[in-house]
């Protein structure tokens, strides 16, 4: 790591005995009040207890009983998933507070608590779209059989691999991306799954279209952060002439009130945006864990109103008619249709009259079963997994068809509208996040923000640019980061808070006429390049080891 150019002791003496000016670095060694430790522990225990009580209530409500071993296994899986979000909090959110700490806008203890609270709000108000964009990267067969040994090995492997890499980069003080690590872990599991099963085309284990979409967002976002912050600071210098905005802090003096409000506002925006995007990444995986361990309670959205069912059934029947109008005319049974759609979804080749016919058969079966039950809340336990899997197959295949230009040329505009409406109903029935999951993830992310933040804060605040962070540099970097992340949330794209904000600090440093600390930038770039292959190797290796262990134990 490069040595800080502006964080010596408060007063230093040169060789001539003259005393230099006081340093402008913040105080980062505040001790936590004993009451704070107790509050932290109480919130942590309360959140875990709330999750346990919610699971017990949800399963009892549908008559699904979990044996002691199954409940312990579920608890372990949830602890690992929440552990990922906790590490994400102190690893990634430190980026949000670095600017307010290094400009003395807020003392460090208050800044991390403030950021943790707005991370919590961001998670609670999130839509869940990003959560399921992560899930769609996983192999189809593992999603459909998430309760199997392979399904659980997949979840454990990818979460543990992401946590290990996050902790390794945190120990080195590198602002690495938790999103990047998680996606690399997912790719590693998918490829390992295909290689273990002896399929020649290893990439068919993951949705490569979705992978490139997500990776392109991860690759493009640092460029947006760098260029956006650079241009914004230049524009600010052109139109906002208050020179105090472009000065470094003097001693430990806070900035003027207006500038301080601006910096606290941008920190708040980045914290909220981080929660609304990164907080969702563990949600989808937690839902897979719940579906695998307690399918009756969580495989379907049993809170969906019964009054909404007739409209859904009508839409399903209309979608089925649209598919049948473009099918090859050869009817198939439900089992054959299920196999055909599963294979088409794995291969991502859905623009086929045979598949349209299979979708018509599955859609008819789904609508007739839901109509006979009256609502998703009344679906019997034995029928829940099959109905959920069929709805999942139809949902993801319909999404591909609605987005396929060749399919759009075959279907009329009205039919495409019907398919999208059907898609929305299927999504509402299968892709939902219970409130207690949001609360526990929000607590994990918020509490994680308050732990271990110092290493990353020092890197962002001291070791990217060669000069001290000015008020304008901090504001421009955080404004660009918040806007980019919130835009990504709007389109359900997982992006990296770390990459965007650290790149924004670098761009603002360049715009301010300061150089970059080459060693730190090179280390960050190396971590960015290494994350994907290392996470893939870790998760793929862990997946194989867990499968071997399970098989040796007779599972």
pLDDT digits over 73-113, tens only?
Answer: 888 889 999 998 888 877 766 677 888 888 888 888 888 88
**Span 42-65, average pLDDT:** 89
Confidence (pLDDT) at 540: 93
d(CA 288, CA 77): 10
Average pLDDT, the chain: 82
What is the per-residue pLDDT across 217-255, written as a single tens digit (0 to 9) for each? 777 878 888 999 999 999 998 888 788 888 877 777 888
What is the per-residue pLDDT across 299-316, written as a single tens digit (0 to 9) for each? 899 988 889 899 999 999
pLDDT at 15 over 50: no
Confidence (pLDDT) at 163: 92
Triad 161, 164, 169: Cα angle to 5°? 125
344-348, 360-364, 387-391, 512-516: least confident range? 512-516
Confidence (pLDDT) at 32: 62
Q: Could you tell me the two tokens for 104?
A: 């003395």
Out of 241-245, 381-385, 451-455, give the one with best mean pLDDT: 381-385
**Span 21-38, average pLDDT:** 64
| Cα distances (Å, whole numbers) of residue 175 to 146, 168, 172, 512 | 32, 11, 9, 22
Give burial (CB, 10 Å; 0-12/13-18/19+) of 509.
Answer: buried
pLDDT at 380 over 80: yes
User: Dmax over Cα atoms in the chain, in whole Å?
Assistant: 94
Q: Which residue has the tokens 């080891």?
A: 545
Q: Could you tell me the two tokens for 460?
A: 């962002």
The interaxial angle of helices 68-92 and 34-61, nearest 10 deg, is 140
Local structure of 482: helix, strand or coil: helix
Q: What is the DSSP letter of 82?
A: H
pLDDT at 323 over 90: yes
pLDDT at 292 over 80: yes
What is the per-residue pLDDT across 387-431, written as a single tens digit (0 to 9) for each? 999 999 999 899 888 877 776 678 888 998 999 999 999 999 988
Closest CA to 87 of 496, 439, 451: 451
Out of 110-119, 346-355, 419-428, give the one with best mean pLDDT: 419-428
pLDDT at 130 over 90: no
Residues in the chain: 555
Q: Which residue has the tokens 């998670």?
A: 123
**Span 23-40, average pLDDT:** 69
Task: Identify which has the larger pLDDT, 361 or 22.
Answer: 361
Cβ pair 469, 502 in contact under 8 A: no
Identify the band that residue 382 occupies on the pLDDT scale cut at 50, 70 and 90.
Answer: confident
Confidence (pLDDT) at 17: 40
Cβ pair 485, 497 in contact under 8 A: yes
Confidence (pLDDT) at 88: 82
Task: Identify which has the larger pLDDT, 453 or 365.
Answer: 365
Confidence (pLDDT) at 462: 66
Cβ pair 327, 353 in contact under 8 A: yes
- Dihedral sign for Cα atoms in the order 179, 185, 187, 190: negative
Cβ pair 12, 20 in contact under 8 A: yes
What is the per-residue pLDDT across 167-206, written as a single tens digit (0 to 9) for each? 888 787 766 777 788 888 988 988 888 888 765 444 445 6
């Amino acid at each position: 790591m490069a040595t800080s150019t502006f964080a010596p002791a408060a007063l230093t003496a040169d060789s001539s005995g003259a005393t230099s000016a006081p340093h402008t670095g913040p105080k980062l060694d505040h001790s936590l009040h004993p009451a704070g430790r107790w509050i932290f522990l109480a919130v942590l225990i309360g959140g875990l207890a709330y999750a346990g009580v919610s699971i017990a209530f949800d399963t009892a409500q549908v008559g699904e009983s979990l044996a002691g071993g199954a409940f312990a296994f579920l608890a372990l899986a949830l602890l690992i998933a929440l552990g990922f979000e906790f590490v994400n909090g102190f690893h990634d959110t430190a980026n949000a507070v670095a600017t307010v700490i290094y400009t003395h806008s807020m003392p460090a203890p208050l800044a991390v608590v403030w950021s943790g609270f707005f991370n919590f709000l961001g998670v609670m108000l999130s839509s869940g779209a990003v959560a399921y964009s992560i899930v769609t990267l996983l192999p189809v067969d593992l999603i459909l059989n998430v309760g199997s040994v392979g399904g659980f090995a997949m979840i454990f492997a990818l979460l543990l691999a992401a946590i290990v890499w996050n902790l390794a980069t945190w120990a080195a003080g590198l602002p690495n991306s938790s999103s990047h690590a998680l996606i690399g872990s997912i790719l590693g599991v998918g490829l390992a799954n295909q290689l273990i099963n002896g399929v020649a085309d290893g990439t068919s284990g993951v949705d490569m279209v979705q992978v490139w979409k997500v990776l392109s967002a991860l690759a493009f976002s640092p460029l947006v952060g760098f260029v956006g912050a650079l241009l914004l600071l230049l524009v600010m210098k052109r139109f906002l002439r208050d020179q105090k905005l472009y000065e470094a802090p003097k001693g430990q003096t806070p900035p003027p009130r207006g500038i301080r409000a601006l910096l606290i506002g941008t920190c708040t925006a980045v914290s909220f945006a981080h929660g609304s995007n990164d907080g969702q990444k563990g949600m989808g995986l937690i839902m897979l864990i719940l579906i695998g361990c307690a399918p009756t309670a969580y495989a379907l959205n049993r809170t969906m109103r019964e009054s909404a069912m007739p409209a859904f059934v009508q839409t399903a029947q209309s979608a089925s008619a649209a598919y049948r109008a473009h099918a090859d005319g050869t009817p198939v049974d439900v089992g054959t249709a299920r196999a055909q759609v599963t294979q088409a979804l794995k291969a991502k080749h859905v623009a086929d009259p045979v598949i349209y016919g299979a979708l018509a058969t599955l859609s008819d079966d789904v609508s007739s079963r839901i109509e006979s039950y009256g609502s998703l809340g009344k679906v019997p336990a034995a029928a829940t997994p099959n109905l959920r899997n069929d709805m999942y197959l139809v949902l993801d295949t319909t999404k591909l068809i609605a987005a396929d230009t060749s399919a759009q040329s075959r279907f009329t505009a009205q039919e495409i509208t019907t398919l999208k409406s059907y898609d929305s109903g299927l999504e509402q029935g299968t892709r939902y996040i219970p409130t207690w999951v949001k609360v526990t993830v929000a607590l994990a992310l918020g509490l994680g923000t308050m732990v271990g933040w110092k290493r990353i804060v020092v890197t962002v605040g001291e070791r990217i640019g060669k000069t001290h962070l000015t008020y304008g540099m901090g504001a421009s970097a955080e404004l660009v980061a918040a806007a980019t992340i919130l835009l990504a949330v709007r389109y359900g794209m997982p992006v990296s808070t770390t990459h965007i904000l650290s790149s924004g600090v670098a761009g603002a440093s360049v715009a301010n006429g300061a150089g970059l600390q080459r060693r730190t930038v090179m280390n960050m770039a190396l971590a960015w390049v290494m994350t994907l292959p290392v996470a893939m190797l870790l998760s793929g290796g862990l997946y194989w080891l867990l499968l071997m262990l399970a098989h040796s134990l007779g599972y």
